[in-house]
Structure 1
C-alpha cells in the first residue's frame, strides 16, 4: 500500500526523489565544471581581497539563521518588499561575501544555465574559503534550492547580537537544534574577520565610574582599542580584527586570546567565564584539532538547516532577485 501511495505521489509530481536528496556529487552530470569554477572564483577573489573568507562565512551564518540556508539574505529589496539584507543587523555585512557569490553565479550561468542554486554557491564558497585560509575541510551536500521569501522583519531577535547575554545566545542556537558545544565551536569563526567599533564601544569607553573599560579586557588591549576607535562616532565603518594575533588565518588563536583578556566583543569575555561555555573555550584553546573537528561537524549541520528542495524553492537566475 505504501509503495502504491508513493508511486501515485510521484506520478502527480508531489514527490521527486531526485530533487529532495542532497549529494556531494549533485552537479556531476548537470554541471561537470562546478567544482573547478567555484575554486577558480574563490581563489581569485580571496587573493585580491583577503577579507573575502571572513565576509563569506559571516554571510553564510546570517543567511542560515533566518529562513534556513536558502540564499534569502542575498535578495535585494524592492519597492514592495524590504529584504533581509536591509535589516539593521545585516547592513554591516561586508560586500566581499556578496561579490564572490555573484561572480561564481555569473560564471556558472555561462557554463550551465539554470542549474546551480545561489544557496549551494554560498555553502560551497564558505567551505572552500575557510579551507583556503587554513581551516578544516568538511562535506557540503548539494541540491539546495533558493528560497522564495526574504523579509527584513524576520531578522531581529533571530541573530546573536554582541550585547546579548550568553543565555539569550544559547537560546537562539538551541531553538535551531544546536548544543552549547556546537555554539561555541561555531563562535570560533571569529578567528577571522573584524567587528565595527560601535559593537564593542560600551566596553572600552566610560564603562563605569571606577573604570574606563570592562575589567575583562587586558588593560593595554583596551587602550589600543580606544585609540583605534577614537573617531568611530564620526566614522561608523571603523573596525578591529576579532583576532589581533592571526587575523587572516583560521586557527584556534581566538580561543587562546580569551583568557588573556584579548577578546573583542562582550560575548567573547562572557563565553570565556560562563560555566556553560568555559569548558569548551578552554578545550579549543588547548587543542586546535578538537576545535577543527567540532567546527567542521557543526558547519555540516548548519549547512542543512532549513534547506529548501524540490518545489519549496527555485533556481534563481540572479542571486539578488527572485525569479
Structure 2
C-alpha cells in the first residue's frame, strides 16, 4: 500500500491500518471458522515483501480481547453463494485487482503461509466483485422496459408531464430530482419518500444528509396523484422516481433513455442507514470507490456518475472547510484554484454563529451551465474548480484523473455512459415480485394494511 514495504511484526500496526482502509472483516460463527469479506480492494496494489505469521496476526486483530488467541484454521472457508462460482469464468477483473495477482506471483521470497493468505484475499475480492455484479444482473432480468404497457399504458407519459410542468417554471428542479433518485437508489425502494413508518423510527428524510436539501418531492407527489387517478394502485413510487429522474436528465440536456420498471415500494425507512449509505462531501477516492463497489459499480462508473454535479449545487457548509483554516500551513485548500476560492469566500463568509450557517446560500457546482447536464464538471476539475473536496479528489488519483480527462474530451461518450450508469443505479437492491414490498397509494406513507417486518436479535441468529 502506498509504496510501502513491510518487514515483520514491528510494522504490524501499519499493515493493519492500511488494510483497514481497503477491507472489512466480519466475524462468522466461531465454530465455522472465519468469513473474510473484502468490500473494497481497488486500491490494493502492494509491494508486500513479508507479513510474519499471517494467521496469528489476523486472529489477534479479530479477537483482540481474548486472553489466548484462537487458532485460525489453515483452510478458511469463504462461505460464498453458488452464483459466485457460476460468474467467475466470465468475470473480467478491474485492472487494479490484477495487481494483487502480480504481487502474489512475484512474491518468491514469501513463505507458504503468506502466499496462502494473499491468494485467499484475492479469491474473496474476486468473489465479492462477482457477487455484486451477479445480484445486479439478476435484478435487472426481473425489471423490464414497458412494464406498464398493459396495466397503465400512459404511466411514463403522466410522469413526464408532471416533471416538464415543474421544469418549465424552475429548471433547477432537474438537479433536485436526479439527486433524490441517487439518494434513494443505493437501495431503490422509494424509502426516501416516506414521511413516517408504523415503526415510529426517524426516516431517511430526517437525516442531516437529506433533510431540507431534498427537492422534487412535490413533483413525485403530483405525478403519483395523477397516476392514482388513471391507474389506481398500479405504478410504484420507486418506478415514478426512476422515470422522473430520467425525464429530468432529458430536460437538462441528455437524450431520453429507456428505463426498465417493475420495482416495488419498501415499508422501512431509517435515518440511521443514511450516513454509511451515501458519499460524504469530504470523501477520498478510496472512500467513494469502496462505497460504490459495495453496490456493484466500478471506479469508472463512479466517476461517470459524479458528472451529475454539472447541475445543482451545495450549501456553503459542505465545502467551507476548504476556504477557511484548511490546515496548519494553508488557509484554504491548495487544490482549489485561488481565484475560484476568492469568489466562493464572497458567497460564503466565515459564519459567526450557527444561525449564520443556516442563512448561507446554495452555490452552483458549475456557474457557467448550472442547469445543463454536460462535461463542464470534468473541465472544471482540471482547473481546480471542483466545489466539493470529494469532487476535486478525483484529480489526485491517477486512475480517476485519466477517466476525468477522457470524459472532458468526449461529451457524447460521457452522455452514453451516464445514461447507462443511471439505469444500473436503478437496479440496486430493488424489491420485485408480489411477495416483496408493496405499491403505495401515497408515496409519503406505507399502505394502511401493511405488516411491518420485525428484526429481533436472538442467540445464534436473527429473526
Taking structure 2 as the reference length, the TM-score comes to 0.63
Q: CA RMSD in A?
A: 1.6
The Cα of 1:21 is off from its aligned counterpart by: 3.5
Shift of the 271–136 alpha-carbon distance from structure 1 to 2, 3 Å rule, reads farther
1:183 aligns with 302
CA distance in 2, matches of 1:36, 1:231: 46
Per-residue CA deviations over 1:91-114 (Å, capped at 9, x if unaligned) read 14333x211111100111111111
The Cα of 1:218 is off from its aligned counterpart by: 1.2
Q: Which runs of 4+ in 1 moved over 3 A?
A: 208-211
2:444 aligns with 320
Q: Is the 8 A contact 2:193 2:444 kept in 1?
A: yes
Per-residue CA deviations over 1:210-251 (Å, capped at 9, x if unaligned) read 433111111111011001012655042521001122111111
1:83 aligns with 203
Note if 1:296 corresponds to 2:415: no
Q: Is the 8 A contact 1:58 1:93 kept in 2?
A: no
Per-residue CA deviations over 1:235-293 (Å, capped at 9, x if unaligned) read 42521001122111111000011111111011111102211311101111111112112
Equivalent of 2:366 in 230, 239, 243: 243
CA distance in 1, matches of 2:270, 2:255: 33
Shift of the 216–136 alpha-carbon distance from structure 1 to 2, 3 Å rule, reads farther
Per-residue CA deviations over 1:1-47 (Å, capped at 9, x if unaligned) read xxxxxxxxxxxxxxxxxxx8322211112112212211211110111
CA distance in 2, matches of 1:235, 1:278: 33
Q: Is the 8 A contact 1:59 1:93 kept in 2?
A: no
What secondary structure sits across from 2:277 in the alignment? coil
- Between structure 1 and structure 2, the one with the greater Rg is 2
Shift of the 93–136 alpha-carbon distance from structure 1 to 2, 3 Å rule, reads farther
Which structure has the higher relative contact order (CA within 8 Å, separation 6+)?
1
CA distance in 2, matches of 1:227, 1:21: 51
CA distance in 2, matches of 1:231, 1:126: 35
What secondary structure sits across from 1:318 in the alignment? coil
The Cα of 1:87 is off from its aligned counterpart by: 1.4
Structure 1: give runs of 5+ residues left out of the alignment: 1-19
CA distance in 1, matches of 2:203, 2:183: 13
Could you tell which deviates more after superposition, 133-142 or 220-229? Answer: 133-142
Shift of the 148–77 alpha-carbon distance from structure 1 to 2, 3 Å rule, reads closer
CA distance in 2, matches of 1:283, 1:201: 29
Q: Is the 8 A contact 1:229 1:239 kept in 2?
A: no
CA distance in 1, matches of 2:436, 2:171: 35
CA distance in 2, matches of 1:155, 1:265: 19
Between the two proteins, the alignment pairs up a number of residues equal to 301
Q: Is the 8 A contact 2:324 2:350 kept in 1?
A: no
2:150 aligns with 29
Equivalent of 1:208 in 327, 331, 335: 327
1:256 aligns with 379
Shift of the 200–307 alpha-carbon distance from structure 1 to 2, 3 Å rule, reads same
CA distance in 2, matches of 1:276, 1:149: 37
Note if 1:174 corresponds to 2:293: yes
Equivalent of 1:43 in 159, 164, 168: 164
